[in-house]
Amino acid sequence: MDTKLAVVIMAAGKGTRMNNPHMAKVMYSINHRPMIDYVVDLAAALKAMKTIVVVGWKKETVIEHFAVGHRRAVFVEQAPQLGTGHAVMQTEQELSSFDGQVLVLSGDVPLLKVATACSLIAHHRAHGACATILTAELPHPAGYGRIIRRSDGSVTRIAEHKDATEEERNIREINSGIYVFNRGCLFEGLKHIKPENAQHEYYLTDVFGYFWRHHLPVHAIKAGDIREIQGINTPEQLEEARRILAHPVS
């Protein structure tokens, strides 16, 4: 990419279902490399001006890994860990003098391709959006937030499964949790979210409510391959990612 881009990688999680309480989730290996390597490599391929990794659980192991590799990344700590919105809040100081787009990724989603990320960013810029969501169409979307669009393709709502109407639950386009924001929109929106949920956490998706209330444009683009958006939450999903990366399909 040849214009201003920063990448934020959320990597603070413990990975409770991975069955090893002593390891940072993003340090689990895929083909002899920690899964977060693939996400940091993606940021480098996009020529990000700044890559910020939000660390938390077993943060020393993540930081030391990148120190040995001499790759450029800035680390900020999320402590305590109060949700995805809270994670991104920790990057505001590092991005205080940055004026461009912020791509938000997860350190446990290692299969996203450079071409898909480039398409997301290009779509965002072409439509003058405040935020753009990477989506996917799933054959069985139960449990995921559904993307509600206008006739012009812009997004008016993310309907969480538990709150969705029957008609909305029939929509198969879902939110992947991968976004690009204009920096100013992102941090202004984060000022207005509250932890009003059962977990008492700050959800990044709540910034979209602020955008819609203020008539700020939100767009979305679908990933061509649903495997690209898959997060690694279990040993079985880790094995599947290993198989996919061992035999990539262009």
The catalytic residues are 17
Which amino acid, one-letter code, is at 181? F
For strands 146-149 and 50-55, give the pairing. unpaired
- Residue 2 and residue 161: Cα distance in Å, rounded? 38
